Homo-oligomer: A and B are copies of this chain.
Amino acid sequence: MDRIPILKLGKFLLVTIQVDMHDRLALALQDDLMAQITTHRARGVLIDISALDIVDSFIGRMLANIAGTARILDAATVVVGMQPSVAITLVELGLSLPGVQTALNIDRGMELLRAAGETEGTVRDGREVS
């Protein structure tokens, strides 16, 4: 495994993190993701971490970096599927995932991204254009 696959879901990109992240893999993921945002003109990135039992400061920083870089490329980032125990540990450790939005699952994450897109989108005749 030298690459984490990035899936295109309509206007959004989806990444499922299943393996232990190390420096090089995290950097490769970041590079790939930014390239794909540009190629597909993606408006949002969903990162699923339901397979992760631990989110340490390294993963936290990676998520924050991805969200920050994606934002500059005009794409929102939502982290989905966090296990309750991971959320508890994050709060206990004082890691707040700055700048990273979270949602319970993919469906809710996509709703969040769509809602964000609509707010930014054009409004014609007083109606929102989806």
Are B5 and A51 neighbours in the complex by a CB distance under 8 Å? yes
Q: Mark A1-19, 1 if CB is under 8 A from B, else 0.
A: 1011101111000101011
With A18-B16, A18-B19, A19-B18 as given contacts, are A50 and B107 in contact (CB-CB < 8 Å)?
no
* Chain A residues bordering chain B, tally (CB within 8 A): 19
What is the CB-to-nearest-CB distance from A31 to chain B, in angstroms, rounded to a whole number? 16
7 nearest A-B pairs in the assembled complex, by CB-CB distance: A5-B51, A5-B50, A16-B16, A18-B18, A7-B106, A9-B106, A7-B48
A-to-B contact residues, CB < 8 Å: 1, 3-5, 7-10, 14, 16, 18-19, 48, 50-51, 81, 105-107
